[in-house]
Amino acid sequence: MSRKAVNAVDPRTRGWLHRGTAVIATTAVLAATLSATTASAAPTAVYPADPAQWDSSPYSPLPPNGVAAAGNTVSLDFAGISGGLQTPDGAGTGFTSVLPSAATGSTPYFARENLATANGALNVVATPGTVSGAANDQDNALGVGLKLTTRTLRLSTTVISPADLAGGAQLGLWFGPNDDNLATLMLGGGGTAGERRIELKRERNGVSEPATTAAPTSADLVSVGTSQNLIGNRPVQLTLDVNPAENSLIAAYQIGADAPVPVGRLDLPANFIDGSALKPSPLADVATFAGILASRGALPASTPMTAVFQDFASAELPAAAATTATPVPTATPTTTATPVPTATPTPTATPVPTATPTTTATPVPTPYRHSHYGAGADDQLHPCARTGRRPLRHRREQQLVPRRRMAGAVFHRYLLGRVPGSRGL
Tens of pLDDT, residues 328-381: 444 444 444 445 455 555 455 555 455 555 555 555 454 444 444 444 444 444
Name the DSSP letter for residue 236: E
* Structure confidence at residue 217 (pLDDT): 74
pLDDT at 384: 46
Q: How confident is the model at residue 418 (pLDDT cuts 50, 70, 90)?
A: low
Contact partners, residue 317, CB within 8 Å, separation at least 6: 151, 152, 153, 154, 241
Distance CA 91, CA 42 (A): 8
CA distance 208 to 141: 19
Model confidence pLDDT, tens digit, residues 163-216 = 888 889 999 999 999 999 999 999 999 888 899 999 999 999 999 988 776 666
Contact (Cβ atoms closer than 8 angstroms) between residue 375 and residue 369: yes
Contact by Cβ (8 Å): 122, 171? no
Domain ranges of the chain: 45-321, 368-425
More confident residue, 108 or 337: 108
| Backbone dihedral angles phi then psi of residue 235, each to the nearest 5 degrees | -70, 155
Three-state DSSP class for 170? strand
pLDDT interval class at 16 (50, 70, 90): very low
Query: pTM for the whole thing?
Result: 0.67
pLDDT tens readout for residues 37-58:
333 345 778 999 999 999 999 9
Distance CA 267, CA 28 (A): 65
The Cα angle at residue 186 between residues 181 and 189, in degrees rounded to 5: 130
Q: Which has more pLDDT, 409 or 60?
A: 60
Q: How confident is the model at residue 309 (pLDDT cuts 50, 70, 90)?
A: very high
Short-list 72, 93, 73, 71, CA closest to 83? 93
pLDDT at 33 over 80: no
Span 238-249, mean pLDDT? 97
When the pLDDT of each residue in the chain is averaged and rounded to a whole number, the result is 77
What CATH class does 45-321 carry? mainly beta
Closest CA to 118 of 143, 93, 138, 142: 93
Is the pLDDT confidence value at 123 over 60? yes
| Closest C-alpha to 116, from 108, 124, 107 | 124
Note the pLDDT of residue 420: 54
CA 237 to chain centre: 20
